[in-house]
Amino acid sequence: MGRFWSILFFLVPILAIATLVMANFGIAPLETARLPRSFSMAGDTIDQLFNGIHLLSALILSGTVLSLGWALWKFDHRRNDNPKARYFTHNTRLEIVWTIIPAFILVFLAFFQMKSWSENKMDRPTLTVNGQSVPVPPIVMVKAKRFGWEFHYAGDDGIVDTQDDIYIENQLVLPVGEDIVLQLESRDVIHSFYVPELRLKQDIVPGMTQFAWFHSREAGDIEIMCTELCGWGHYIMKADLKLVDRSTYDLWLAEQKSPYTPEFKSNPEVAAAENARYTESDARLERSAQAGNDLAENSIE
């Protein structure tokens, strides 16, 4: 039986690596089990990092678990003729070796990935205006709420969160081939904005204004997922994301560009909520009440 168990443990890294390879290269039956193709350069970098650490992990997994299986194969008491096990208690040199070498690998990994993190989360893209570089202004303000997404496009003034914003629900259209900055806010609880194709994820915390950015090189129809539990309807909180070229985008935006867009008019509740936002007094209270009523309606199953 000793051989049986060592084969079982040999199978662990073999199957783990085989399935990982199948998933990564789209081999049946795991052809669907992988991340969708990345739409952005930053996403490619993340993928390379992901695959690189997986490769390293595969090496370590094979090394450790195969030697575990080998120990079971070789040192089973029925096949070990010595009356006793070998008596040795420690080897300081070995301990130092297997601490220092992984330490170097990990420190290298740590520094290697800092660039990717900073381009994804820390260094907001900039543009040059009058010889000065300024951060790219947000093209749209995303307001997450239970259980849907509001998208407020900047109106004629080019600034989001003002009176001439264009309001769309659960559908986001954005141009490809340029730096896109999103302003993320929440109306109620914590949500999270996840687009797998863009390798973009950011929790949206109520009371905080955050920015997320990406640069897609491909057009396509993809989905926005909520990845932070926000209540019973967490699973229905999805929105469509249409990535189109600039001219299509401009055309589309122009169609939406009346403050009384069809979407706006057809949804009096939203219109009321929007108006309340800009009344001087009691704006806060009304908005809360409005959102509260939405919640109350939503929570009835």
Partner 1 sequence: MAEATVDNLSKHPRTGNPVSRFVFTYVFATDHKIIGLQFLFSSMIWFFVGGFLALAVRWQLAWPWSDMPIFGHLLFADTGGQMSPNFYTMLFTMHASIMIFFVIIPILAGGFGNYLIPLMIGAEDMAFPRVNMMSYWFMWPAFGFIILSFFLPEYGPAAGWTSYPPLSVLNGGAQTLWLMAMVCVGISSMLGAINYLTTIIQMRAPGMTMFRLPMTIWGMFITAIMQAFALPVLTAALLMQLSDRILFTGFFLPENVSINNGVAASGGGQALLWQHLFWFYSHPAVYIMILPAMGMVSDIVSCFSRKPLFGYRPMVYSITAIAGLGFIVWGHHMFISGMNHTLAMSFMVSTMLIALPSGVKVFNWIGTLWGGKLHLTTPMLFCIGFVSMFVIGGLSGIVMSAPPVDIVVHDTYYIVAHLHYVLFASSVLGVFGALYFWFPKMFGRMMNEPLGKIHFLLTFIFLNGTFFPMHFLSRMPRRVADPYIYDGLKDLLPLNQFMTICAFAMGAAQIIFLLNFFGSLWFGPKAGRNPWNSNTLEWTVPSPPPHGNFEVQPIVRRGPYEYSHPDVEEDFCPQTKNDV
**Residues 3-22 within binding reach of partner 1 (CB under 8 A):** 5, 8-9, 12, 15-16, 19-20
Q: At a CB cut-off of 8 Å and minimum separation 6, what does 288 contact?
A: none
Start-to-end Cα distance in the chain: 56
- Considering only residues 48-107, where is the footprint of partner 1 by CB under 8 A? 49-50, 53-54, 57, 60-61, 64-65, 67-68, 71-72, 75-77, 80, 82-91, 94-95, 98-99, 102-103, 106-107
Side-by-side strand order, sheet with 171-175: 171-175, 239-244, 220-226, 191-195, 200-204
281 binds partner 1 per the rule CB under 8 A = no
For the CB of residue 248, give the shortest distance to partner 1 in the complex, in Å: 21
CB of 44 to partner 1, least distance (A): 11
Give me the least distance between CB of 120 and partner 1, in Å please: 6
Instruction: Determine which residue in the list 232, 250, 272, 275 makes contact with partner 1, applying CB under 8 A.
Output: 232
- Contact segment (CB under 8 A) with partner 1 among 113-121, 128-136, 170-178, 256-264 equals 113-121
- Which of 14, 136, 253, 291 contacts partner 1 by CB under 8 A? 291
Query: Which span (129-137, 164-172, 195-203, 251-259) binds partner 1, by CB under 8 A?
Result: 195-203
C-alpha–C-alpha distance, residues 260 and 74, integer Å: 79
d(C-alpha 85, C-alpha 217), whole Å = 62
Q: Does 272 engage in binding with partner 1 (CB under 8 A)?
A: no
**Alpha-carbon gap, residue 289 to 301, rounded angstroms:** 20
In this structure, is the dihedral angle defined by the CA atoms of residues 102, 105, 109 and 110, taken in order, positive or negative? Answer: positive
DSSP 162: S
Dmax over CA atoms of the chain, in Å, equals: 91
- Cα 177 versus chain centre, distance: 20
List 181, 244, 295, 298, residue binding partner 1 (CB under 8 A): 295
* Residue 215 contacts partner 1 per CB under 8 A: no
Mention every residue, 6+ apart, whose C-beta is less than 8 A from residue 256.
153, 166, 168, 263
Each residue 131-170 as x (binds partner 1 by CB under 8 A) or -, in order, gives ----------------------------------------
Minimum distance from residue 187 beta carbon to partner 1 (Å): 8
